[in-house]
Amino acid sequence: MSDRPLQAELRNSIVLVEDGAKEELYRDSFYGRPAGKHIELSLAEAAYLLYRKKIQVIAGGKELDFRSFFEVACSLTKNFELKYIVYSDLRGRGYYVQPGTPDFRVYPRGGHPGKTPAEFLVRVLSERNPLPLPELLRQVSAAANLKKSLVLAIVDEESDITFYGVKGIAMKGTMPPLPEISAAATLLEDRAIIWDKDKSGYLHRTGFFGNMLDEERLQLSLVEGAYLMGKGLSVTVPGETEKLGFPDFRARAEKIEPEFMNKYAAYADLRASGLVAKTGFKFGTHFRVYSGLPKNIEHSKYLVHAIEYDHAFSLQRLSRAVRLSHSVRKTMVYAFVRNRNVGYIGIERMKL
């Protein structure tokens, strides 16, 4: 580029650069888009070029310095400063970036507009924005339809950026389905116990259900108990002889654990998909999930948390969950029920 700053003008939320800029800004460096004789810059592009003294910006006949331009841009666009932080980070690290939906289209390393398609669709968020699941799902599938990856760029209060890749996940494991069983359990507060030694051993050994209380008795969690009821387990309450129906069991479970039905739906779907779900309490999630019998596989591959379809993520909590799953080499997955089907999205930290 030449040393003389190009003349540009702020009009509404757009910065138009003088004739002659096409070559320098657009063809060589992929800033802006052609608009007739001019090049049109977004506010983030303009602020970036202004800081680097590549352009001079006039508004209402007066030149704006960086600070004035920045303050005006903040008043014109919500979260301008966040977009600027992310734009200049990406651009400063050699990525070509164009405005797009949700916020930016980012080209792969070595690629640029006109040569390659964009690889990432980037959404910029402050750590304080709550993020509703339905909105995130729409963006995940919009990106997938365009064969691009959705990336969340979350800016923290000190303006550091963390990038997260988000995608739909098909959960599939290798466990054969459990045949019908005949066994009995007692429901004690928030867990059930199978007292019979052989049945306890069988369920624990072949399906990795529950946890042995001692060498003879098996303790089941509420979701395990509910799932095994569907396979033939009869459950009673101490002092009563008649066995519990599912609605009764569910009512008791929901009193103890209000999210029971979310957890149960995810658990049953994971089991039906050949996966083994065990409690993820130590990781602060509902489940850790193995793709087969743990003794053959050792490490669980996923942490799964069951949420309502209308859940709104707190980004601070999301960050903690993803960071933790990353540190134990698992993928953080959220499970939700939509139109009676269980869906899954995986969220991973990424370097961009």
Positions marked catalytic: 290, 299, 330
Chain residues in the site for its own copies (CB under 8 A): 51, 67, 70-71, 74-75, 79, 81, 85, 88, 126-128, 154, 156-160, 162, 186, 188-191, 193, 195, 210-211, 213-214, 219, 221-224, 238-239, 256-257, 278-279, 281-285, 316-317, 319-321, 323-324, 327-328
Smallest separation (angstroms) from its own copies to the CB of 31: 17
Pick the closer one to its own copies by CB: 51 or 309.
Answer: 51
Pick the closer one to its own copies by CB: 78 or 147.
Answer: 78
Is-contact 203 194, C-beta < 8 A? Answer: yes
Smallest separation (angstroms) from its own copies to the CB of 298: 17
Pick the closer one to its own copies by CB: 141 or 159.
Answer: 159
**Dist CA 264 CA 225 (whole Å):** 10
**Residue position matching structure tokens 């303050």:** 71
**Dist CA 174 CA 293 (whole Å):** 8
Q: From residue 218, how far is each of 213, 222, 268, 340 by CA, in Å? A: 6, 13, 20, 31
The token duo for 99 is 């405005």
Smallest separation (angstroms) from its own copies to the CB of 259: 10
Is-contact 97 111, C-beta < 8 A? Answer: no
Is-contact 200 209, C-beta < 8 A? Answer: no
Helix 43-51 vs helix 66-76: crossing angle, to nearest 10: 170
Pick the closer one to its own copies by CB: 291 or 325.
Answer: 325
Pick the closer one to its own copies by CB: 221 or 300.
Answer: 221
Instruction: Report the sign of the C-alpha dihedral through residues 296, 300, 302, 308, in that order.
Output: positive
Smallest separation (angstroms) from its own copies to the CB of 193: 8
Pick the closer one to its own copies by CB: 162 or 331.
Answer: 162
Smallest separation (angstroms) from its own copies to the CB of 19: 29
Pick the closer one to its own copies by CB: 189 or 310.
Answer: 189
188-195: Cβ within 8 A, 24+ apart: 188/238, 189/256, 190/222, 190/256, 190/257, 191/219, 191/220, 191/221, 191/222, 191/225, 192/219, 192/220, 192/222, 192/224, 192/225, 192/235, 193/217, 193/218, 193/219, 193/220, 194/218, 194/220, 194/233
Q: Is 324 exposed, middle or buried (0-12, 13-18, 19+ CB in 10 A)?
A: middle
Smallest separation (angstroms) from its own copies to the CB of 209: 9
Is-contact 140 168, C-beta < 8 A? Answer: yes
Smallest separation (angstroms) from its own copies to the CB of 243: 16
Q: Cis bond leading into 102, ω under 30°? A: yes
